Amino acid sequence: MKTFFNYISEKALSSEVQDLTVVTTAKKLKVSLIIMLIAFFFSPPPIEKLTYKFWLNDRYKAFSEQINGTYKSGDYDIESHESKLSFRVVPSLIGKLSFSNDPQTQMIFLYIVQVIFGFLSILVLLDGIYKSTNDWIYSKLVVGGLMLTHVGSSFFYDVSFFLDGFPFFLMILAMFTPMTILSALFLFVGFWCDERVLLGGIGIVLFRNYRELEKIELWSFIFSKNALLFLLSAGIYVGIRLWLTHYQAIDIPLGSSSGVGISAIWVQRNTLPIAQLFTFEFYWLYIFPLLVFFFQKSKILASLIFMYLVVAIGLTGIVMDVMRSVNYLFPIILLGILIYSGQEARKRRNEIAFFGALMNVLIPNYRYFVHFFIVIPLPIKLIQMYFETGM
């Protein structure tokens, strides 16, 4: 292990004077592809679903009906994911580009789009973090480590078609686009992928303000153009939803009977903390330099950020897919990564980034829906399939 750290340290010190012209677009594309393949290696889709004939379950059927314009939420059990798709229309609009009415073709098309979004997300993250830190090694390590968590696996593992990769990609674009109005637009479109983007949008406002504002203080954050445009886009979204609910009778089931509510916290009381912890694995530690930094700048602002985290993490317990909900806080993790890069010497931060990425490799990639299960890496999955099919 010490040899690994020494290698990373030497590489970091040798790159101390690098500038933004060193890393070419071709190199960024190459590294993005490598990181994507590594993420795919550790979080491949359940290949048996792609090897054998797809079955037409309710998830595929519901999305296909949305794409074909025949979807009715009341046709599905109120506890199911399928009954809650009424306002998650962007993936289905993209699904129309498959130019097919066949559910299997439409779902495979959406999976391919999500994988492409995963590659583009890695590319945008690499480019954005590198331009913020001017450290190519650090950028590769932290982005690679992030793609080994639940967030990264959402782009490649998901053939159950929760399609979280769609809003995640839009959130990443909203974080790194130089245009505030475009950031608000990406978020607005993201709301129509999953309403939990509202939860993550606050983290995006903090992320953009940290990069753009000259002075870190409470009122400059609250009345920033990022915050005001986020509130405007969120207000328009909520207004449209209320109008659709009131005048078009379009709604989604809520309450304890539908698996959404305070009662879900009690049902999951024994597994909830560990599910939240495993979502970002080792990367939760980047929260600490974030809170220390803001506490030194503005105690009130730091307290509000801490309250946001506590409330947001608490709210993830009111649904049964806790880890999917916690994922929407990844902008805060990325903000912590940027802040830490400015607090430590390059050698030290690259050692920590390497250790964090390594820990995310060693910690199994868990997914959770009432019960835990482990995402099986590609070689083990192929061996498992070999013995199960008697090949």
pLDDT tens column, 297-356? 999 999 999 999 999 999 998 888 899 999 999 999 999 999 999 887 788 899 999 999
Report which DSSP code applies to 162.
-
For the record, the structure tokens of 181 come out as 């109005």
Rounded CA-CA distance 325/316 in Å is: 5
- State in Å, rounded, how far the first CA of the chain is from the last one: 39
Cα–Cα distances in angstroms (integers) from residue 145 to residues 39, 130, 149, 344, in the given order:
9, 15, 7, 19
Residue 260 pairs with which residues in a beta bridge? 255
Overall number of domains in the chain: 1
Rounded CA-CA distance 82/79 in Å is: 9
Q: Please name which of 130, 165, 91, 96 lies closest in space to residue 324, comparing C-alpha atoms.
A: 165
pLDDT at residue 31 is higher than 60: yes
Q: Average pLDDT for residues 201-230, to the nearest whole number?
A: 94
Rounded CA-CA distance 330/336 in Å is: 10
Domain of residue 356, residue span: 2-389
pLDDT at residue 1 is higher than 50: no
pLDDT in tens, 64-74: 999 999 998 88
The residue with tokens 């046709």 is 75
The band of 47, judged by pLDDT with boundaries at 50, 70 and 90, is low
pLDDT in tens, 111-157: 999 999 999 999 999 999 999 999 999 999 999 999 999 999 999 99
| Radius of gyration, alpha carbons of the chain | 21
- Statement: the pTM of the whole predicted model exceeds 0.85: yes
Residue 369 pairs with which residues in a beta bridge? 371
Rounded CA-CA distance 346/359 in Å is: 20
Share of the chain above pLDDT 90, in %: 63
